[in-house]
Amino acid sequence: MQKVLPSEQIAGQEVWKYDKRQQDQLHDLEFATDYKERCRVGTRVHNERLARRACKDRAKMTEEIAKFCSDKQNKQFLDKLKGLVERQQRSEEYLTGERYYKRRGGEDEC
């Protein structure tokens, strides 16, 4: 859950970066001298808008979780949940790992 906060912030920064680039692209389109150059700029605009949309969707998808994790009231709950996950992982590792038992009754098989 702690990984959600930085990824949500990074996605928001990416959206902001694409917004800043859009003005430069519009100037490139404005000053393009021929059809092929306008097509290249248009394709670049299209691809960057798709990438911006993906970043914006990722930020929106993790927004509620990021708000929940950053709230001070939820810290105790998240700490308990983290402890529960760690104990569960230790139990699973023990049960799925190889275990050796020292036979105490001798070599006779039952």
- Tokens representing residue 84 in the block: 């529960």
Low-confidence ranges of the chain (pLDDT < 70): 1-5, 8, 106-110
Residue 70 has a pLDDT of 83
User: Does 16 map to a domain?
Assistant: yes
Number of H helices, E strands in the chain: 3, 0
Q: What is the total count of domains within the chain?
A: 1
User: Does 78 map to a domain?
Assistant: no
Residue 50 has a pLDDT of 94
Residue 3 has a pLDDT of 62
Report the predicted TM-score, pTM, of the whole model to 2 decimal places.
Answer: 0.58
User: Does 85 map to a domain?
Assistant: no
User: Does 48 map to a domain?
Assistant: yes
User: Does 103 map to a domain?
Assistant: no
Cα angle at 22 between 16 and 25, to 5 degrees? 150
The whole-angstrom separation of Cα 50 and Cα 66 is 24
User: Does 94 map to a domain?
Assistant: no
Residue 109 has a pLDDT of 62
User: Does 91 map to a domain?
Assistant: no
User: Does 34 map to a domain?
Assistant: yes
- What's the domain range around 40? 4-70
